[in-house]
Amino acid sequence: MEDASPAKWHLAHTTWFFETFILRDHVDGYSHFRDGYDYLFNSYYEAEGARHTRSARGMITRPTLDEIKRYRAWVDEAMVKVIPSFKDDCKELLVLGLHHEQQHQELLLTDVKHMFAQNPLKPAWFASDDDRYRSAHVPLEWIEGKAGIIEIGHDGNGFAFDCEGPRHQALLSPYAMANRCVTNAEWIEFIADGGYQRPEYWLSDGWAWVQQNDIRSPLYWEEVKGHWRWFTLNGMQHVDPNAPVTHVSLYEADAFATWASKRWDGARLPTEAEWESAAASVQIKSNDASHRHVRPSGASADADGLQQMFGDVWEWTGSAYRPYPGFKPVEGAVGEYNGKFMSGQFVLKGGSCATPDHHIRPSYRNFFYPHQRWQFTGLRLARDI
């Protein structure tokens, strides 16, 4: 699948990032590990020249995994030697590289899940009985958000990617957010009501995508004798009715919101500004993707207010991924990190169950094309009041 990369490539690419942007450019006398790696493991940096075609990454049989591990050790050793002497510009690149690696830790989980799902044996990466974990039913309630002039964007404390700023004002009309994410049970109702067969719910491009790809359910779902099951990193499991629906595209999320607008008057996807403003007062929960049970959790029946804002599913918003007022990409190749993708994609917020700890914050702007759904993507509803 063109969006996914082999595990070996992720390991090599994150190593290449440090070798290229720090060791090569800032350390006198550094000796590259091997010629050709700059071609194989460059992802999308045009300033770094030609690169291997993304869709063909899975065909790279050499270098071997052992060679990639030696490459990693070579670069790690060189980095450890020079880090104490770093000036501010190198420190900033180092921190960027670490956050870049956290992104690829998440991508590794989701890419492996997609790869395993293609296997008819449906293998489990982590041995765990997912069916033991069942979420509680939590009624959907509406939480009023702050209206008027608000501020969004990173406030300057701690790390942020360049696309998260500058911090700026936004004007919000009165609105409310759902207290929790849309659940699997609600999605099953959408399916049963002909949600994937009724064009009136769908954007034109979304309906064409449904028809061309024979989409009838979220990714990894299958119906067996009237019951829905889905593929997880723990293998095939029964769908937890009260857990957040996940692996849905923007097209699907928007269609569901249109369908749900009859049930909850005026329901829609939240805007990025609404979501971030509402999330500003919500405590960020710790999320460790190294545990052996990577899945979104259901809402708590004992909690009040907004739940599941962080660390369960990436939540689609109705906002296009475009630059904030005053945005300027940094100079050089690393300026290609985010800015050049600000076309045709939509913003997701909140982080998922596969997102590494300390990589989640209200201002984080994830972005994908509207048809993509191999990440842990879900949604919550909003509406005007």
Q: Are 110 and 220 in contact (CB under 8 A)?
A: no
- The helix, strand and coil proportions of the chain, stated in percent and rounded to the nearest 5, come to 35, 15, 50
Query: What is the value of pTM for the model shown?
Result: 0.95
d(CA 312, CA 351): 7
Closest CA to 303 of 139, 78, 77: 139
**CA torsion through residues 349, 276, 312, 136, sign:** negative
Return the CATH class of domain 130-384: alpha beta
Q: What is the 3-state secondary structure (H, E, C) of 294-334?
A: CCCCCCCCCCCCCCCCCCECEEEEEEECCCCCCCCCCCCHH
DSSP state, residue 268: B
- Residues recorded for the chain: 385
d(CA 357, CA 362): 14
- The pLDDT of residue 331 is 83
Closest CA to 187 of 160, 165, 212, 219: 219
| pLDDT tens per residue across all 385 residues of the chain | 889 999 999 999 999 999 999 999 999 999 999 999 999 999 999 999 999 999 999 999 999 999 999 999 999 999 999 999 999 889 999 999 999 999 999 999 999 999 999 999 999 988 766 555 678 999 999 999 999 999 999 999 999 999 999 999 999 999 999 999 999 999 999 999 999 999 999 999 999 999 999 999 999 999 999 999 999 998 999 999 999 999 999 999 999 999 999 999 999 999 999 999 999 999 887 544 444 468 888 999 999 999 999 999 999 999 999 999 999 988 888 888 888 999 999 999 999 999 987 899 999 999 999 999 999 999 999 999 9
Q: What dihedral do alpha carbons 107, 268, 137, 292 form, nearest 10°?
A: 0
The burial class, CB within 10 Å (0-12 / 13-18 / 19+), for 227 is: exposed
DSSP state, residue 50: -
Domain boundaries, the chain: 7-117, 130-384
